[in-house]
Chains A and B, each alone.
Chain A
Amino acid sequence: MDSLHAIGFYVSAAISVGGALLVAFLPGRGARGLALGVSGLGIAGLYASLSADFAGLVALVCYAGCALLIAAPRYRVVDTPVGFAWRQAGGVAAAGLFAVLAYAAYRGDFVEATYRGGEIGSAAIGRVLFAHDALATAAVGALVFVTLIGATAAWRMRERGR
């Protein structure tokens, strides 16, 4: 990885993790949605600096959609009955997860290799998606189909209930 890609990687890493932390701590759905969009921008930049431009484009579109969904006026509040102590335990568990995974990443003895692929690689990814891993692509397509039907049904039921 040359210096330009490395600078892009570290800037994108700061944007993505900073945006994620803002998602965690900002109040209000609008600010959270904006922070999620910023984090998605950082994640797309990470993909681009890792020579995965096509995945970056897909991530940019998908995270913009997620941000719009989180910030949309149709957003509803659903309070969970879980107590503060359990949520606090969950936060500590997330910190423990970070510690364990970071230690595993630091201590891992990885073999590095020279990357010979292109920058965007959409044709190669398309070949992999539709020829090599067609079942996984079909599964994600089915997931999207089911979620769209489920979301539409839920919205219609809520509108009918008013």
Chain B
Amino acid sequence: MSAGLVSVLFVAVALVAVGAFVATWKRDLSSALAGLPLMFGGAGVAFAGAARFSAAGDPKIFGQEVAALLAVAALALVALGVGIAGRGSSR
């Protein structure tokens, strides 16, 4: 059993698509915010996969670096969104 770059990209694409679905489908904007970390996670998985399997490029771990930065950015954006969203009632 093995996994290659195409398998990694399929998982990344699925995460990005489900995140986009959450962001567009949810009627509540605060719920739609949950789609952001999913999309960022998908992008991070694609970057990490490219860093793991790609041949060229320097530095070699650029993809891992971007994946870590994307996770931090996702947390920051969700915090900002939850902070500024809402003057309605809690559910």
Interface residues of A (CB under 8 A from B): 1-3, 5-7, 9-10, 13, 16-17, 20-21, 23-24, 28-29, 32, 36, 39-40, 43, 46-47, 49-52, 54-55, 58-59, 62-63, 65-66, 69-70, 72-80, 82, 87, 90-91, 93-95, 97-98, 101-102, 105-106, 108, 110-113, 115-117, 121, 124-125, 128-129, 132-133, 136-137, 140, 143-144, 146-148, 150-155, 158, 161
| Docked CA distance A21–B15 (Å) | 9
Pairs A–B under 8 Å by Cβ, sample size 18: A36-B34, A52-B63, A55-B71, A58-B72, A63-B71, A65-B79, A74-B82, A77-B88, A80-B32, A90-B25, A101-B16, A108-B6, A110-B5, A125-B64, A132-B59, A133-B62, A133-B65, A150-B83
**Residues in B neighbouring A124, C-beta threshold 8 A:** 59, 61
CA distance A9 to B91 in the complex (A): 36
Q: Which residue of B lies closest to A47 (CB)?
A: B48
Main secondary structure of the interface of B (DSSP, over half): helix
Which residues of B in the span 2-45 have a Cβ within 8 Å of any Cβ on A?
2-35, 37-38, 41, 44-45
